[in-house]
Structure formats: structure tokens, C-alpha cells
Amino acid sequence: MQMNASISLLLCMTLLFGCASQEEDQQSARELSRESEKEVRMYLDKAMLAELPFIHFRDSLRWKYLNDYFVTVEANDGDHLIEMNTECVDLRAKIFYTDMVDRRSKRDIIRARRDTIRGCRIKMIYVLPESDGLPEPTKEPNAPP
């Protein structure tokens, strides 16, 4: 499945905010994440995206980091924005640790308020429109320049 314009735009916006080096410290990464979080929340206030209780995905869940509260995912019915209950720095991690085990009732479904990504509980799942109007996320702190 190819990424639609919404996810492509979100990923491109990551580069615009990302002037920090690959070796930025935890404080810098957290500041970048909070700046991105504000932008995404402002977008959510204006866009009034539809919320879903769950989504189906094909093989395995693949997500793209936006900040410590939000990721995007590709599902069978399009692209979605997922919000976590709390700040989740493990979303940035490139290494998998045992406490990051995802909790799911079914292998190919992810549910809001019930399941996790990287051990972080999902608060909301939003349907992303195919239009270009999404906010700029920060650069993934561990991504190469």
C-alpha cells in the first residue's frame, strides 16, 4: 500500500522542523516533540477528524513517528493518526525492549483505549483525510540527518 498524501506530507514536515543533529540529547528531543505535539493538537482542533474505535491492518502494524504522543499508521481503509494516552518516548526507540510489548485482543486489529503501541496505551484513532493541510511534526530524534 502506498502512503497517501496525508502521511507523505506529515513525513515531509518532519524534515522542516528537524534542524537538530542526530546526537541531540533527551531534553532537545523532548522539546522538539512538544513543539510538534502543539502543532498536531492545533490541527486536530481545526480539522475535526472522525474518530474510530478500531482499525484493521494487513500484515503487521507499521507506524511512523510524529512526536511522543502521535504516530501515523496505514490501515486497510486508509491512513490514520493515533494519539497516545500519555507521553511515550518509546515511540522514538529503534531498539525493541521487553516492556514495549504491544497488547492486542486480535493480531490484525488495533483498538483505541485498549491496545498499545510500544507499550503505550492508545487514546484515540483518527481518520486522516487525503487533503494536504496537516501540521508539521518534528524530525524523528533518532533518524539520520
Per-residue pLDDT tens over the stretch 95-115: 666 666 677 778 788 899 999
Distance CA 74, CA 93 (A): 20
For cell 490484525, the residue is 108
Three-state DSSP class for 5?
A: helix
Q: pLDDT tens track of the chain, all 145 residues?
A: 444 555 555 554 554 444 444 445 677 888 888 898 999 999 999 988 999 999 988 777 778 889 999 999 888 888 899 999 999 988 887 666 666 667 777 878 889 999 988 889 999 999 998 754 555 555 555 554 4
Angle (CA) 93-113-67 rounded to 5° is: 30
> Residue type at 100?
M
Decide the pairing of beta strands 120-127 and 116-117. Answer: antiparallel
* Number of residues that this document lists for the chain: 145
CA pair distance 118, 110, nearest whole angstrom: 13
110 C-beta neighbours (distance < 10 Å), count = 26
CB 121 within 8 A of CB 90: no
pTM above 0.85, yes or no: no
Task: Enter the C-alpha cell of residue 64.
Answer: 511512523
- Residue 18's pLDDT is what? 47
N-to-C CA span, the chain: 26
Q: What is the pLDDT of residue 145?
A: 45
Contact (Cβ atoms closer than 8 angstroms) between residue 68 and residue 37 = yes
The grid cell for 8 is: 507523505
Q: Residue 77, exposed/middle/buried by CB under 10 A (0-12, 13-18, 19+)?
A: exposed
For the chain, which residues make up each domain, given as ranges?
5-127
Residue 97's pLDDT is what? 61
